[in-house]
């Protein structure tokens, strides 16, 4: 999840930099250098944000599963006690 987010974010940053350079009529080498720099910056940012998002999603899923398992076990124990 983190790598996918990092790649997408860095490609968006590169495209935005290229469009900015096209609109402002920047020189090609300067725009490409800035674009490559932004790819690196946003790739790292995407790795951090994607890793955090993946970790949070896993923790949430673990908590939901633990609550479901606990309610299932208590329902089973109640049905066994009543039978």
Per-position pLDDT tens, the chain of length 83: 889 999 999 999 999 999 999 999 889 999 999 999 999 999 999 999 999 999 999 999 999 999 999 999 998 888 888 76
CB 28 within 8 A of CB 53: no
Domain count, the chain: 1
pTM of the model: 0.74
Query: Which residue range is the domain that position 43 belongs to?
Result: 2-82
Q: What is the DSSP letter of 66?
A: H
Neighbours of 76 (CB within 10 A): 10
């Amino acid at each position: 999840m983190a790598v996918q987010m990092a790649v997408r974010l860095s490609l968006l940053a590169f495209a935005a930099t290229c469009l900015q350079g096209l609109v402002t009529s920047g020189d090609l080498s300067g725009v490409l250098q800035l674009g490559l720099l932004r790819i690196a910056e946003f790739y790292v940012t995407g790795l951090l944000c994607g890793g955090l998002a993946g970790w949070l999603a896993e923790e949430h899923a673990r908590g939901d599963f633990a609550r479901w398992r606990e309610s299932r076990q208590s329902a089973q124990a109640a049905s066994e006690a009543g039978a």
